[in-house]
Structure formats: C-alpha cells, structure tokens
C-alpha cells in the first residue's frame, strides 16, 4: 500500500547513522552488561541459549516484516505506529501507538535505572535518586536541542562499547571459591520470568524504527539498518553466555554479582564505561524515538495537535520531548530494572505482534498494491505474530489481558470519535477475504430450518414516507442479519441522481442509527423495479429471502401489485406485506403480538418465527406473543387446546394460546374483533396456485384489505416453500 508521508522536515539520515547506530546501541544496553550473568545463573547455558534464540527469533521475524512493510510504502514519522496505522487502520495503529509511546518513554527510565545501578555500584556514596534525575535532565536537554547532535554523540559511545566487548572476550576466569555467600544470592526464577527481564535487550530495533521520519531513504535504510543490527546482536548474544559459562563456573556468583562482566574482562574499567555508554545511549535513543511517535500520533489527530509541533530545521518535537521527560521522571523515581523490564516487554511484544500481523495480512490479502521490494515467505510474519502472543501469555497472562484491554479501550474510544484517516488501509481487504471465505462456505452448506435467518429486502421507497417498514425490518434483524433498504427511481434518471439518492438514503439511515445496506434501481415503475430486485439482487447464497413491502390501497395498482406477489412466490421468497394500521382505541394498548394460527403450515411457522424475533427487540420489550386460533366446531376445542399447549411447551416459546369461537362470524371478522387492541397482528396470506391468474389473486387481495380494515400494525405473511418453518420450533 502506498501512502504519502505526513512528516515534513527531518534530517535525512542514512541507514547507518539513522537506524543501525541507535538500534545496535539499544541492543547492547543495560541488560547485556548487568543482567546477562543473572540470566545465565538462573537458567544455565542451554536454556540461556534457548532464551537468546527465541527472543532474537521474534525480533528477526519482526525485522523481516518491517522490511517488507517499509519497502511497500512511503514511510513517514512515527515508526511502528506509522506502519501499523497505514496497514491495519488508524484506530488499530493508535491502539498500539499510544501504549508504544508510553513504553518508549518508560524505556528512558529503564535505561537510566541501569546507568544509576552501575554507577552507584562503583561509587556507593552517590545518592541514586539524584543521579537518575540529573542524568535524565542532561539527556533531555541534549535530545531537546537537536537529534543530529545526539546521534553524533552515539558514535563515540559505539566505539566505547566495542572496546568493552573486546576487553570482555579477552578476559580471564574468575575464582569460584568463596565468591558469594548464601545470603547474597537471590532466589532463582523460572524460564518465562527470566525471559521477561531479558527480552528488552533485543528490542533495540524500536529505536531505529522510531527515527523513520528523519531518514533520507526509509525504504532502504529501515530494512538494511534493522537486519544488520539484529544480526550483530544475535552473534554477540550467543557468544557472551558461552564465554561467561567457561570463565565463571559458579552460578551463584553469576546470580549475585551484577557486574560479573567487569570481573571477567581484561580491563574492567572499559566494562564500566561500556555500561554507562550503553545505558546512556539507549536512554537517548528512547528520548529521540518516543517524542517522534507522539508527534506522528498528534499529526493524525489521535493526540492533541499541539504536542506534535516541530521546531527548527529538523522539525524537532520539543513539546513532546518535554512530556516524555515528565513520564520518564515518574518511572525513574518509581521503579528498578526488574520491575520495569516486564512492563516494557509487554508493550514491545504487542507492537512487534501487530507489525508482524500487518505484513502477514498484506500477504494473505494479496492486493495489487502489495508489491514490497523486500520479499518474505508469507508464513513468517504470521509465525512472528503468533510467537509474540505466546511469549506474552507465558510471561504473564494477567498482564497480557490487561494490555489487550488497554489497547481495546483505546481502539473503541477512537471508533466513537469517528475519525477519518487520510489514507487507505487493509480493513476493506481483510473484510473481503473473510467475506469470500464465508460466501463459499455458505454456498456449500445450504439452508435448513435450524440455521435459517432472515435476509431482508425492504422496498420502502424514500424511507421517511414509510418508516414503519424500516422500523419493522430493524426489529426483526436486531443487527444479527442482513437488511437492505431499496428505492426505485424512474426510468431515465441520470447517474448523478442515482448516486445522490443512494448517498442521501445511506446518510438518512445512519442518522437514524439503522444498520442497513442501500440499493437503488432504475425502472419504469416501482413494481417493475421490485420484480427486478427479486430476480437480480444478491450475491451467491446471499440473496434476500424475505421481502418487506407496504400495502397498496390504489385499486388501479392491484393487478401490478399482485403480479409482484406472484413473482415473489415463484422465486421462493418470503413476502411480508405490512399495513401501518390504525392506532389502538386505548391510550394504553395491550402489548400483545397476535399470531393467527391456521394449523401447522409454512405461513404459521414463519409468522411465529418473525413474532419471536420482533419480541426480542428493545422497542418491543415487554410484548408477549399470543397465538390465536378460530374454533369452527365446539367439539374440536379439547383436542386443539391439548395439542397447542403441548406445541408451545415443546417449542420453548414464551407465548400464550387462545381458542376463540367464531359465533357465526367469518374468520376475519373474528380477527378484527379480537385483535383491535393488540400492538401487532400477523396473518397468513393464501398460497397462490401454481398457475394462478393474477386477476384472481388481485380480487383475493382486494377482499383481504377490506376484511382487515381497522386493525393495528398488521403483517400479512406469505412463506416460501424452501424451508419447513415448523421445524424451527421442534
């Protein structure tokens, strides 16, 4: 997917200075110097190697996904947030971007805590809080002034770290005897607790990704710099535990001495300088990256826009840097390495998981816009996403659920804001992929009574004129099935009018908070348009199976109207003719839904199914279904009463049953007398004969309208024969 960058300005760094240097310096950070021995002491060499390999596998898979994404879009500022939001959408991107920003800001605290721990270890008289706060202030001033100056200082730090590693690997064994008393040795932890502390050591690629808006050629610099940094880190991280295991055989000493690498090294002072340089450079990298993530969030309208304001030639986010300073200050005063590390692990694993998911979904969708220059075998990003999820659950399932809840809350809050992104994303492609799969499965499965759901086509015309049709369709649907509101435009309508009518209809339904599809069709008259919709509207198995239409009282329209009824029956569609009806005579009408039962037939089953669905809706809450049957002969009463009570019990319906004598009246006269105070009435239509003449059915329809005059809201139901609706209630 190609999108334009939203980040004006920037420094135009290359891959080495802008990506590799901040990434590799964050990888070679405090965890390497101060916790590698602790990891080895807890786990032993084989399981330490396993931790290194698994952590680097996640990072390498993420780097590959990042490389694919970066070479398929014009990358702007914001790093991981930018790529996720431009792939999965603004809301998912922000749901990850805001926690990621917080993780990067707390990362500053994490690295400064490591610097303070090592400095106080060498100079015990120094007050830790003062050291931490003073260090944070100095680094913040440097980041606030200029990213270019800050990155140039990192070349000096890289040289110090390189010298410290040379000194370490040129070191000597450490005597084990009497090295650590039992009181000094901390308790050993399990695999995943140790993994959680170690994982921030491999998350340095975030420092390089976050600088995406300041790169000259992000599509080249991000893959090259990130993969080079990950590979460098992996090689060094495999060598360190092997060398430590050979030079320090006492695992208790490894657990107790956080500066064991200093004792092993030929020149211990270089290790101390390396710790200081690594922790300071990592903190500086986070101080540069976190404000730029927030800057991207504010430019997209997720965060207040004033936070993203840039200053100077390099568009430095100084206001965002000040906010990061305050967050980092809170973390510096509140936490230590072992407390902060698992928190960072959760946030980084979440962002890594979604980066991998973005690339994996791009591969699965296979849209023409997915043309990355850096090709990756498509299962690898999905494997990376699954590995991130597994690691999160194994580290702390409770914290994982909390992280998901935080991201989910941000997502839904942004959805409520109805923000409009200025770019396209993958969501349409994802939905098309799911729709394709579902449609083919639906076509294979077929419909039966147990799985039947209404797919409703509402022929309302302008819905404001016959809103009761849309209202009833929504009551039946309850947002669990498909509803299409259709309007027929006169023949010869220009394309502009068709588009305008469709947009107006969709906007009107949205204002009324009705979830429905919209369809417009051009025809000579409404009945012709309705017949065309019955014949052509739908896709594969997703065709409307239930048509809602208002009644017509115009005698000149009866013949065309009945042709439409016969066409619906011929095409095996359920038809519901709705009459708005008269208001009940009482100001407090009975909240009954009267279903007039004429024996076990398709009409009766469909009426009962519709009544059940309508009664579940919030607007119909408190309504009760009342099944009515006209008794023609008194001797039939006992048998009918027993049969219907048994049917209601077996069908698990919340319904009552009434047997009503006809008292010499016609059945429809009984209906009018008994249901005039109901809230809604459902009646069955006579099934047309196979070759029934439309004029004969027109006369039947005209008489039916006359015989049901005066009733409240009435639905006259004609069921298709494709589903045995009686089986729904078995």
Q: What string of DSSP letters covers 568-635?
A: HHHTT-EEEEEE--PPPSSSS---EEEEE--SSSHHHHHHHHHHHHHHTSGGGTT-EEEEEEEESSGG
CATH number of the domain where residue 334 is located: 1.20.1740.10
Tell me the backbone φ, ψ of residue 625, rounded to 5 degrees.
Answer: -85, 130
- % of residues, the chain, pLDDT over 90: 13
Same domain for 659 and 726: yes
Same domain for 503 and 360: no
CA atoms 343, 345, 346, 351: torsion sign:
positive
In a domain, 443, yes or no: no
Residue 53: what pLDDT? 94
Predicted confidence (pLDDT) at residue 345 exceeds the cutoff of 70: yes
In a domain, 649, yes or no: yes
CATH number of the domain where residue 601 is located: 3.40.50.620
Mean pLDDT of 187-191: 85
Which pLDDT band holds residue 39 (cuts at 50, 70, 90)? Answer: very high
Residue at which a domain ends, from 522, 550, 578: 550
In a domain, 434, yes or no: no
Separation of alpha carbons 569 and 690, rounded Å: 10
Which pLDDT band holds residue 623 (cuts at 50, 70, 90)? Answer: confident
Residue at which a domain ends, from 550, 584, 605: 550
Domain tally, the chain: 3
Residue at which a domain ends, from 417, 438, 471: 417
Predicted confidence (pLDDT) at residue 231 exceeds the cutoff of 90: yes
In a domain, 1, yes or no: no
pTM to 2 decimal places: 0.67
Predicted confidence (pLDDT) at residue 319 exceeds the cutoff of 80: yes
- % of residues, the chain, pLDDT over 70: 89
Residue 148: what pLDDT? 64
CATH number of the domain where residue 525 is located: 3.40.50
Mean pLDDT (the chain, rounded) = 82
Which pLDDT band holds residue 149 (cuts at 50, 70, 90)? Answer: low
In the block, tokens 């964050």 appear at 26
Q: Are 710 and 580 in contact (CB under 8 A)?
A: no
Which pLDDT band holds residue 270 (cuts at 50, 70, 90)? Answer: very high
Give CA angle at 22 (21, 27), nearest 5°: 100
Q: Which comes out higher in pLDDT, residue 445 or 657?
A: 657
Same domain for 349 and 207: yes
Residue 232: what pLDDT? 93
Same domain for 532 and 667: no
Mean pLDDT of 519-548: 88
pLDDT (tens digit per residue) in 638-682: 777 788 888 887 777 788 888 888 877 888 888 888 888 888 999
Same domain for 264 and 396: yes
Same domain for 674 and 625: yes
pLDDT (tens digit per residue) in 450-504: 778 889 999 987 877 888 899 999 988 888 888 999 988 888 888 888 888 888 8
Same domain for 286 and 202: yes
Same domain for 214 and 325: yes
Residue 417: what pLDDT? 74
Q: Which comes out higher in pLDDT, residue 181 or 251?
A: 251
Same domain for 462 and 330: no
Same domain for 576 and 530: no
Separation of alpha carbons 28 and 53, rounded Å: 16
Same domain for 158 and 78: yes
In a domain, 425, yes or no: no
Q: Which comes out higher in pLDDT, residue 202 or 46?
A: 46
Q: Which helix (H) or strand (E) holds 489?
A: strand 483-490
- Please name the residues in contact with 187: beta carbons below 8 A apart, sequence gap of 6 or more: none
Predicted confidence (pLDDT) at residue 717 exceeds the cutoff of 80: yes
In a domain, 7, yes or no: no
Domain that includes residue 490, residue range:
452-550
In a domain, 464, yes or no: yes
Residue 548: what pLDDT? 94
Q: Are 481 and 454 in contact (CB under 8 A)?
A: yes
Q: Are 542 and 482 in contact (CB under 8 A)?
A: yes
In a domain, 545, yes or no: yes
Same domain for 582 and 529: no
Residue 211: what pLDDT? 63
Residue 163: what pLDDT? 93
Residue 7: what pLDDT? 42
Residue 560 CB neighbours (<10 A): 18
Residue 587: what pLDDT? 53
């Amino acid at each position: 997917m190609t999108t334009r960058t939203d980040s004006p300005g920037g420094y135009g760094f290359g891959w080495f200075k802008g990506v590799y240097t901040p990434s590799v310096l964050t990888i070679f950070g405090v965890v390497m110097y101060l916790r590698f021995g602790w990891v080895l002491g807890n786990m032993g060499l084989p399981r330490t190697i396993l931790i290194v390999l698994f952590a680097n596998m996640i990072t390498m898979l993420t780097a590959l996904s990042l490389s694919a994404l970066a070479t398929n879009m014009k990358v702007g500022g914001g790093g991981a947030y930018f790529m996720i939001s431009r792939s999965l959408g603004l809301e998912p991107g922000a749901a990850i971007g805001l926690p990621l920003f917080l993780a990067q800001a707390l990362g500053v605290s994490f690295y400064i805590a490591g610097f303070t721990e090592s400095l106080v270890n060498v100079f015990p008289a120094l007050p830790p809080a003062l050291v931490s706060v003073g260090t944070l202030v100095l680094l913040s001033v440097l980041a606030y002034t200029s990213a270019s100056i800050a990155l140039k200082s990192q070349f000096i730090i890289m040289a110090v770290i390189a010298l410290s590693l040379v000194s370490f690997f040129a070191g000597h064994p450490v005597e084990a005897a009497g090295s650590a008393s039992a009181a000094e040795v901390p308790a050993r932890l399990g695999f995943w607790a140790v993994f959680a502390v170690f994982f921030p050591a491999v998350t340095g690629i975030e420092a390089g990704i976050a600088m995406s808006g300041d790169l000259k050629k992000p599509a080249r610099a991000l893959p090259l710099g990130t993969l080079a940094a990950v590979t460098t880190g992996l090689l060094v991280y495999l060598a360190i535990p092997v060398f430590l295991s050979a030079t320090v055989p006492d695992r208790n000493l490894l657990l107790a001495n956080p500066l064991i690498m200093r004792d092993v090294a030929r020149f211990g002072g270089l290790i101390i300088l390396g710790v200081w340089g690594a922790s300071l450079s990592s903190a500086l990298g986070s101080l540069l990256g976190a404000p730029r993530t927030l800057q991207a969030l504010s430019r997209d309208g997720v965060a207040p826009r004033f936070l993203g304001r840039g200053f100077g030639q390099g568009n430095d986010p100084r206001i965002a840097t000040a906010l990061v300073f305050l967050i980092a200050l809170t973390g510096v005063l509140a936490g230590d390495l072992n407390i902060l590390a698992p928190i960072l692990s959760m946030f980084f694993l979440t962002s890594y998981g979604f980066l991998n998911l973005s690339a994996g979904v791009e591969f699965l969708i296979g849209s023409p816009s997915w043309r990355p220059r850096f090709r990756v075998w498509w299962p690898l990003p999905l494997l990376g996403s699954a590995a991130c999820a597994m690691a999160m659950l194994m580290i702390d399932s409770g914290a994982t659920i909390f992280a998901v809840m935080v991201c989910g809350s941000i997502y839904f809050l942004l959805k409520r804001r109805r923000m409009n992104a200025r770019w396209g994303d993958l969501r349409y492609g994802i939905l098309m992929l799911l729709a394709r799969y579902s449609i083919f499965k639906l076509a294979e499965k077929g419909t039966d009574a147990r799985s039947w759901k209404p797919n409703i086509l509402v022929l309302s015309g302008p819905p404001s004129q016959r809103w009761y049709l849309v209202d009833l369709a929504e009551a039946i649907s309850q947002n669990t099935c498909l509803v299409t509101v259709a309007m027929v435009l006169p023949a010869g309508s220009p394309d502009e009018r068709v588009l305008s009518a469709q947009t107006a209809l969709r906007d009107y339904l949205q204002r009324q908070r009705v979830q429905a599809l919209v369809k417009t069709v051009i025809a000579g008259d409404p009945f012709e348009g309705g017949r065309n919709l019955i014949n052509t509207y739908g896709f594969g198995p997703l065709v409307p199976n239930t048509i809602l239409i208002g009644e017509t009282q115009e005698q000149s329209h009866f013949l065309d109207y009945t042709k439409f009824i016969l066409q619906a029956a011929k095409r095996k569609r359920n038809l519901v003719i709705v009459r708005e009806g008269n208001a009940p005579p009482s100001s407090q009408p009975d909240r009954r839904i009267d279903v007039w039962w004429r024996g076990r037939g398709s009409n009766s089953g469909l009426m009962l199914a519709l009544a059940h669905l309508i009664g579940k809706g919030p607007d119909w809450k408190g309504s009760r279904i009342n099944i009515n049957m006209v008794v023609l002969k008194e001797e039939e009463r006992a048998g009918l009463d027993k049969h219907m009570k048994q049917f209601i019990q077996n069908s698990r319906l919340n319904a009552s049953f009434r047997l009503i004598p006809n008292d010499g009246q016609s059945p429809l006269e009984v209906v009018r007398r008994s249901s005039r105070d109901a809230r809604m009435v459902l009646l069955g239509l006579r099934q047309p004969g196979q070759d029934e003449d439309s004029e004969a059915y027109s006369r039947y329809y005209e008489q039916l309208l006359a015989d049901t005059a005066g009733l409240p809201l009435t639905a006259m139901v004609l069921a298709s024969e494709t589903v045995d609706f009686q089986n729904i209630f078995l």
